Amino acid sequence: MSFVDTLRQWDEAVTCVEREDLSGAFRIFLSIEEPNSKIYFDIGCLHLLNQDLDAAEKAFDCSIRRDEHMAVAFFQRGITFYKKQRYEESLGDFQHAFKALRGNQLIDYKALGLRYKLFACDVLHNMALAEAQLGNWEKAQENLVKALDNKTDAKLNAIDRALQSTLKQKLFKLVEFPSKALFKPNKHYVAELEKKDYLGKAKVLASVVPQDDFSGFAPLQPQVEDGPTCPKEPEVLRALEGDPHTVLFEFVPETSDELAVVPGNIVFVLHKGADNWASVIFNERRGLVPYNYLERLEISLASKQKEEMRKAPSREPPTRPERKQGLTPSHNSTGDIKCKDAQSPDDSYIVKVHFTFNFAVSVPPGSHYDTLIKKISKKLNLPSTAVTLSVTANADELSLVSSDTEMESVWSRANGRRITLWCHNKEFQQTDGEPNNDIHLVALHTYDSSNPEDLNFHQGDTITLLSKVNQDWFEGQCNGNTGIFPASFVEEVPVNAQ
């Protein structure tokens, strides 16, 4: 299911709730194939409204699995556990919610589509009630005293009454979430779902051609005797940057600066290098393609080319050209290619390395460990002593690669001169299970990239910021994946809203 379909169904379900049609909302919500954390939260709220506590618990479980930093989801699941009289689990969720507040008095979820403010004093209030249910009256009083430190004027009376009740060892009222408060999709994206016809349908008012009823945008054709029976083909391709070429053979990239194309694609060549690699544009993306995989497209023969594009190539693709050692391309403002990094010769081994991002290095066949670690540490700009390698994702004693390892056993794992290794940074390994960076971002737009080092996400997803590569690119983690992404696609989650 596409993001647009998910957005449309999400909006329809929320509209059903506003019309008091809960059954219709359930039907639409449950038909969404890949719900995000916010949609699972909405489903849990509806189950809680229907007093279906088991279903509500499962929905909030899914919401938290999708976004483990969503404090309001922990708060709602804590309320669900409390109603199921599972007070220890309820207390644990309220504690998680309070921790996710990170010392702030409140989180305003309005920017994320939920008209609700989660107050620290409300979370502490419910923590105190769970402690009271467990018979821990002193801890209950301590939590309420903390709540007074985080209070707002509107919450003062409720906290005072709860504190008086604990002194008499009497229970007090639970602070609950509004019954019909739901996350809603971004209204600006919803407004764009409906197509708008700004131009309307063209209409012929006058024409020199008898009985002319054409209503398109093609120019008027000359009316001469013995003229062409078919209209002249528009030469719109000449207005685009670069020279148009047709792709003859499928090309599978081996590095991130190369571009995947298939027979029939039309690419625009910006520059052809002496090494027979061409810098091209395809689908608004730039990259390298072997020039001998292309054929120049003559505009005047466009119709003939369309017919030829439907046919499969009748011969084997040409040999992949060699890239000059010590050079990989980067594009300047004119589309020309500059060279800056190393590209392996044909007889080298390609080592794909999984780090916080993915990258590849080339080494000579049968290289010693020192050669391999030196190449990888140089790529990461880290000392060799700070890096460990392993042949599996889990860096245990059996999979570690070190200076004592027989490298023949490592290179024997290569398939077609390609091998995958995992890299770990000793200096930044986690010891307590907590992330190194507690800055969280929310995706303003969906980012979908085919580059292996990029991080893909959908609009509304929460991303943990790991580092800032530069002012335009960040590195982060989302849904268990790590990679880089454009900084303009995200904004920091607001936690100090007024």
- Which amino acid would we find at residue 100? A
Query: Last residue of a domain, which of 295, 313, 331?
Result: 313
In a domain, 434, yes or no: no
**Lookup: tokens for 26:** 């359930």
What pLDDT does 273 receive?
84
What pLDDT does 432 receive?
40
Rounded Cα distance between 462 and 67, Å, is 7
Q: What b-and-e string marks burial along 71-80, b requiring 16 or more CB atoms within 10 Å of the CB?
A: bbbbbbbbbb
The CATH number that applies at residue 415 is: 3.10.20.90
Distances (CA, A) of 379 to 365, 384, 390: 19, 11, 17
Q: What b-and-e string marks burial along 224-244, b requiring 16 or more CB atoms within 10 Å of the CB?
A: eeeeeeeeeeeeeeeeeebbb
In a domain, 322, yes or no: no
Rounded Cα distance between 441 and 181, Å, is 23
CA 338 centroid distance within chain: 30
Distances (CA, A) of 437 to 73, 443, 496: 21, 17, 18
In a domain, 203, yes or no: no
Cite the DSSP H helix spans in 331-368.
Answer: none
Query: Of 108, 110, 150, whose CA–CA distance to 127 is shortest?
Result: 150
Domain count, the chain: 4
Rounded Cα distance between 382 and 380, Å, is 5
In a domain, 28, yes or no: yes
User: Are 233 and 240 in contact, with CB atoms under 8 Å apart?
Assistant: no
Rounded Cα distance between 301 and 293, Å, is 19
Query: Last residue of a domain, which of 393, 428, 463?
Result: 428
- Transcribe 153-196 into DSSP letters: GGGHHHHHHHHHHHHTT---PPP---TT------HHHHHTSS--
In a domain, 149, yes or no: yes
- Which amino acid would we find at residue 250? E
End-to-end CA distance of the chain: 37
The CATH number that applies at residue 293 is: 2.30.30.40
Query: Last residue of a domain, which of 386, 401, 428?
Result: 428
Q: Are 381 and 446 part of one and the same domain?
A: no
Q: Are 173 and 245 part of one and the same domain?
A: no
What pLDDT does 235 receive?
42
Q: Are 152 and 285 part of one and the same domain?
A: no
Q: Are 402 and 259 part of one and the same domain?
A: no
Query: Of 424, 407, 412, whose CA–CA distance to 482 is shortest?
Result: 424
Close Cβ partners of 21 (under 8 Å, ≥ 6 residues apart): none
Rounded Cα distance between 303 and 285, Å, is 25
pTM for the predicted model, two decimal places: 0.42
**Lookup: tokens for 384:** 């060799």
**Lookup: tokens for 142:** 């301590």
The CATH number that applies at residue 75 is: 1.25.40.10
Distances (CA, A) of 40 to 6, 13, 307, 318: 13, 12, 48, 51
Q: Are 247 and 373 part of one and the same domain?
A: no
Q: Are 477 and 415 part of one and the same domain?
A: no
> Residue holding tokens 């708060």?
75
Angle at 350 between CA 347 and CA 356, to 5 degrees: 165
Q: What is the pLDDT along the chain (498 residues), one digit of tens a residue?
A: 677 788 888 888 988 988 888 888 889 988 888 889 999 999 999 999 889 999 999 999 999 998 988 899 999 999 999 999 999 999 999 999 999 988 888 999 988 889 899 999 999 999 999 999 999 999 999 999 988 888 777 777 888 888 888 888 899 999 998 877 899 888 777 666 665 666 666 665 655 555 555 555 555 555 545 555 554 444 444 445 688 999 998 888 888 888 888 888 889 999 888 888 999 998 878 899 999 899 988 754 444 444 554 444 555 666 666 665 444 444 443 444 343 343 444 567 888 888 877 778 888 888 888 888 888 888 887 888 888 888 887 777 788 888 888 888 888 888 878 888 888 876 544 444 444 445 889 999 899 887 777 889 999 899 988 878 777 888 888 888 888 888 889 988 765 543
Q: Are 64 and 156 part of one and the same domain?
A: yes
The helix or strand, by DSSP H or E, that contains position 81, with its residue range, turns out to be: helix 71-83
In a domain, 217, yes or no: no
In a domain, 119, yes or no: yes
Q: Are 462 and 408 part of one and the same domain?
A: no
Q: Are 64 and 140 part of one and the same domain?
A: yes
Q: 176 burial class (0-12, 13-18, 19+ CB within 10 angstroms)?
A: middle
DSSP 3: H
Where in the sequence is the domain holding 469, given as residue range(s)? 440-492
Q: Are 29 and 133 part of one and the same domain?
A: yes
What pLDDT does 126 receive?
93
Rounded Cα distance between 250 and 230, Å, is 33
In a domain, 459, yes or no: yes
Contacts 24+ apart (CB under 8 A), 55-63: 56/80, 57/81, 57/84, 62/35, 62/37, 63/37, 63/38
Q: Are 26 and 123 part of one and the same domain?
A: yes
User: Are 448 and 459 in contact, with CB atoms under 8 Å apart?
Assistant: no
Rounded Cα distance between 240 and 246, Å, is 15
**Lookup: tokens for 123:** 């979370």
Residue 36 falls in which region: left (phi positive, over 0), alpha (psi -120 to 50) or beta = beta
Q: Are 120 and 34 part of one and the same domain?
A: yes
